[in-house]
Amino acid sequence: MFLLSLPSLSATCMRYFRMFALHMQDIFEQRGRTFVWLLISCIAPLIMILFWRGAKGVNGWSFEEILSYYLLLIVFRAMLISHNEERVAVTDIQEGQLTAYLVKPFSYFWLVFFQELPYRLFQGGIGILFLVLCFQLLRITSSVELFMLSVVSIILSFFLGFIFKMIIGLCAFWMTDSRGLFEVVDVTLVIFTGLLMPLAFYPQWLESVSYFLPFAYMLYFPIVMVQGQLDYVEVFKALSMQLFWIGLLVLVYRLMWRSGIRKYTAVGQ
Amino acid sequence: MVIHVSHLERVYKIHQKEPGFAGSIKSFFSRKYTDARAVDDISFDIEKGELIGFIGPNGAGKTTTLKCLSGLLYPTSGTVDVLGHTPFDRKNEFLKQIGLVMGQKNQLWWDLPAIDSFLLNKEIYEIPDATYKKTLDELVSLLDVSEILTVQVRKLSLGQRMKCELIAALLHKPKVIFLDEPTIGLDVVMQQKLRDFIKAYNKQYEATILLTSHYMKDVEQLCERIIMIDHGKILYDGKLANIVKEYAAKKAISVIFTKPVSREKLTKLGEIVSLEETKAVLSVPRAKSNLVASRLLDSFPVEDITIEETNIEEIIRDVFAKSSKS
Amino acid sequence: MKEKLHRIQVYGRVYKTLLRLNVTKLFAYRANFINSAIAHTIWAAFGVISMLLLTSKVATVYGWTPNELMLLAGTYNLILSFFYFFFSRNFGDLADVIHFGKLDTFLLKPIDTQFLISSWNVGYTQLIRFVIGFGVVWYFLVHMGTSLTFVSLVQFMLLLCASVIILYSFWMLVLTLLLWFTNVSNLVDLLYQINGITRFPSEIYKGFGMILFFVLFPLTLIVVSPTKALLQQMTWQEMLVPIGFAIGMGFLCRRFWQFALRFYTSASG
């Protein structure tokens, strides 16, 4: 599924690129919706910034670091959290659109990937602009090496998050209604990816649990890495955890895909 | 005069987008709008109890006119008067006397039996209990749906659903009814049942009914008077029978001979549309068709002869085709 | 006068029927019921848990103690459960109602259209959120040793009504925009995020926060004011502010809706 044979490489690339361009076009068509999504991504973090501003007795981080954390959070979240699970579960599997894709000569995984990418890049682009504008407020590491490693981590986070959402989407092979699952996933992500507050602020036991689960590696670690709050040892630990989870989730995805497709096509969709 | 429309116009703006990626980015920053004349100066009057067919191709302005008559759209100019009210004001007394059924839009609650939606309408239209029961019984027997009233709407077939939609729309015994494509998507049997119902309802309750449809059968069976509309303008407003006389001057006679006949002899009787060995089709003026037919039977070895029933659909198609050329 | 009374009776009967129909609908689709129940339980619980986490390591936030903040979290669920009970389904459906022409069927009924679109669905599963909110409020009132006086209860009820009206008016004002921009259905998601603003002490919106959120000022009061009433910190003069906003915003949203309907019936094809 993930390997492309060389002769058809360029043709497949063109197809993926066309998909990508079409969805990029969509973003510009729907200017109202796009604007609203941008607003949505800002509100909760901004409220949290205001909340911490008045918090007395917080040990560990300074307010500037907290402010910087949430600003980076707004952008990184828009850039790294994919929203493909609903399309996979509902439109493709439950409503049967997947059948059309199965007969096409490209992998479903990469198809969804290249359709999701434009939205992430667009939001990421706007986000980076936003960050450049409020650069004064950010607390970013001064070490070039650490910064480069953070960029690597960002890319790994994107893949990790995307694969995870694909797996959630694939659950629809075995569930008639995925909405309950989506709500559970949403809440889990809010708690464990650092969307609510920096994981370092959690009670000790909860913090340890968070570092054990994959979610922190989808969003939280790139942020604290960019802020320079991790030393080299911790950075490499985090990067290896990301690679570990990517590897594991790829395996899970493959297994789920294989058995799920068998069930899906057996039903004669 | 139940409905009076005078110089009705509806103009609205639509935005043009250039195709392709560049077009999308442009439209992100600015948009161009042009005027579309959905209804372009139409006038007509309808009396009580009439059953009128509104026909025209897609985008002709039928639905827009219906919406102006029911109060859903504000005319750009002109006057509309229905039952003595201005529809656009949407006064309660007006709304209680009209009914609108749009083919694909439904007002029944999907997960509940139809009877529950009826009860809701009963309260909304303030129908007294006795009247409600009487009307419901009459409609249910006319449409033959007594068994399915307690079945969830989502479990009903399209035809059954349509019948229940009609009941929901007619519970308050509206004096004027607008039916927009009522038979669309239904099978042939169900279409006929609905036609029979509409005809019976029109007779029994003397309701004025305005019907739009794509199906000629609907119009032929139900409407004595038709209004043909295209590009927002009225092409013809009058009896359906008369349009045949006005636009179809000729009739076609199909003949099958027992042995081949000479072309020259045949041409004397009328214009030859087609002539194969033993089959011929002649086109003759309507008044002369019987005469020509009897001449054929006298002078030619005829095995079978048919005077074609004028195809109304073709006539109407021709009228529309001519209008779109101009 | 008699005419008005009669009309009120009609509306009463219509709403009674709607309440009944919604009960039937609730049990018609078991999967739906379970999913709603799960979703509401999760998010209500999350509201409480997140506040616990936020206050786990702080002493005070703008002068509010952790216990008071937890009380705030409880009142938040309580008040929003009322609002969601009556209106959330209807607001969620509004984009589709307009887009798929159901609004036309409502317009032709001899009942006010705003009433119909606001009352068509009833969210019975929100009772779960009410129970959770009520439980939290009860627990922390006892925990803090605050007793409920008759006065504070009356104030609470009045402010509850004012808060629901403010929320309704605000949502209505924003969603009326859907009549112009039919495809911006994610405005509802934006509004859910904005509701999150109300969970926190209104002090956090002073200064810089006010610049960001000034339009939303009335919202910052809707949970804080009733909570203050419970803590017997609300004077009758102070109550005039939320009540005044409720009346003002109520009128404004009605006027705006009627204005928008005139546009809708002039512009749509």
Task: Answer whether residue A106 shows pLDDT above 90.
Answer: no
Per residue in B200-223, is it b (16+ CB within 10 Å) or e — as a string?
ebbeebebbbbbbbebbebbeebb
| CB contact (8 A) between residue C212 and residue A184 | no
Per CB-CB distance under 8 Å, the chain A contacts of B21 are: 21, 24-25
For residues B209, B213, B215 and B220, what is the CA-based torsion angle, rounded to 10 degrees? 30
Q: pTM here?
A: 0.87
CA-CA distance, B204 to B142, in Å (whole number)? 11
CB-based contact A199:A210 (threshold 8 Å)? yes
CA-CA distance, A138 to A141, in Å (whole number)? 10
How many angstroms away from the CA of A204 is the closest CA of chain C? 11
Q: What are phi and psi of B32, to 5 degrees?
A: -105, 140
To test the contact with chain B by mutation, choose from A18, A22, A27, A29 the residue with the greatest count of B C-beta atoms within 10 A, namely A29
Pick from C16, C114, C111: which is nearest to B125 by CA? C111
A7 pLDDT band, cuts 50/70/90, is low
| CB contact (8 A) between residue B74 and residue C101 | no
**CA angle B20-B25-B31, nearest 5°?**
100
Residue of C nearest to A53 (CA): C204
Mean pLDDT of chain A: 88
Q: pLDDT over 90 for what percent of chain B?
A: 39
Task: Answer whether residue A25 shows pLDDT above 80.
Answer: no
pLDDT at C188: 95
C261: exposed, middle or buried (C-beta count within 10 Å: 0-12, 13-18, 19+)?
middle
Instruction: Determine the CATH number of domain B41-244.
Output: 3.40.50.300
Per residue in C93-120, is it b (16+ CB within 10 Å) or e — as a string?
bbbebbeeebbbbbbbbbbbbbebbbbb
Regarding the domain delimited by B249-309, which CATH topology (the fold level of the hierarchy) does it fall under?
Alpha-Beta Plaits (3.30.70)
pLDDT at B28: 61
Q: What is the pLDDT of residues C199-222, one digit of tens each?
A: 999 888 877 767 767 788 889 899
Least confident of B65-69, B283-287, C223-227: B283-287
A1 pLDDT band, cuts 50/70/90, is very low
Task: Answer whether residue B107 shows pLDDT above 60.
Answer: yes
CB-based contact A173:A262 (threshold 8 Å)? no
pLDDT at B184: 83
Label each residue of chain C as H, E or C.
CHHHHHHHHHHHHHHHHHHHHHHHHHHHCHHHHHHHHHHHHHHHHHHHHHHHHHCCCCCEECCECHHHHHHHHHHHHHHHHHHHHHHHHHHHHHHHHHHCCHHHHHHCCCCCHHHHHHHCCCCHHHHHHHHHHHHHHHHHHHHHCCCCCHHHHHHHHHHHHHHHHHHHHHHHHHHHHHHCCCCCCCHHHHHHHHHHHHHCCHHHHCCHHHHHHHHHHHHHHCCHHHHHHHCCCCCHHHHHHHHHHHHHHHHHHHHHHHHHHHHHHHHCC
Per CB-CB distance under 8 Å, the chain C contacts of A202 are: 53, 56
Domain ranges of chain B: 41-244, 249-309
Amino acid at position B110, single letter:
W
Domain that holds residue C13: 2-267
Per CB-CB distance under 8 Å, the chain A contacts of B28 are: 28-29, 31
pLDDT at B265: 82
Q: pLDDT over 90 for what percent of chain A?
A: 47
Amino acid at position A97, single letter:
Q
Least confident of A208-222, B30-44, B196-210: B30-44
How many angstroms away from the CA of A31 is the closest CA of chain B? 6
Q: What is the pLDDT of residues A191-207, one digit of tens each?
A: 999 999 999 999 999 99
Task: Answer whether residue B278 shows pLDDT above 90.
Answer: no
Mean pLDDT in residue range A184-192: 94
CA-CA distance, B277 to B258, in Å (whole number)? 10
Least confident of A74-78, A241-245, B9-13: B9-13
pLDDT at B274: 81
Name the β-bridge partners of B177. B99, B209
CA-CA distance, C103 to C96, in Å (whole number)? 9
**CA angle C126-C131-C132, nearest 5°?**
100
How many angstroms away from the CA of B166 is the closest CA of chain A? 30
Pick from C30, C18, C37, C32: which is nearest to C125 by CA? C37
Domain count within chain C: 1
A50: exposed, middle or buried (C-beta count within 10 Å: 0-12, 13-18, 19+)?
buried
Pick from B99, B285, C38: which is nearest to A184 by CA? C38
Domain ranges of chain A: 10-266
CB-based contact B52:B209 (threshold 8 Å)? yes
CA-CA distance, B139 to A236, in Å (whole number)? 77
pLDDT at A2: 47
Chain C residues bordering chain B (beta-carbon distance below 8 Å): 10, 13-14, 17-18, 21, 24-25, 28-29, 100-102, 104-105, 107-111, 262, 265-269
**Nearest residue, CB atoms, B95 vs list C101, C110, C265:** C110
pLDDT at C256: 96
Query: Between chain B and chain C, how many beta carbons pairs sit less than 8 Å apart?
Result: 73
B326 pLDDT band, cuts 50/70/90, is low
CB-based contact A249:A214 (threshold 8 Å)? yes
Pairing mode, if any, of strands B77-82 and B208-212?
Answer: unpaired
Name the β-bridge partners of B15. B33
CA-CA distance, B255 to B176, in Å (whole number)? 47
Q: Which residues of chain C have pLDDT under 50?
A: 269
CA distances from A223 to A147, A207, A220, C105 (A): 11, 16, 5, 51
B57 pLDDT band, cuts 50/70/90, is confident
Task: Answer whether residue A5 shows pLDDT above 60.
Answer: no
CA-CA distance, B215 to B274, in Å (whole number)? 29
CA-CA distance, B143 to B193, in Å (whole number)? 8
Task: Answer whether residue B39 shows pLDDT above 80.
Answer: yes
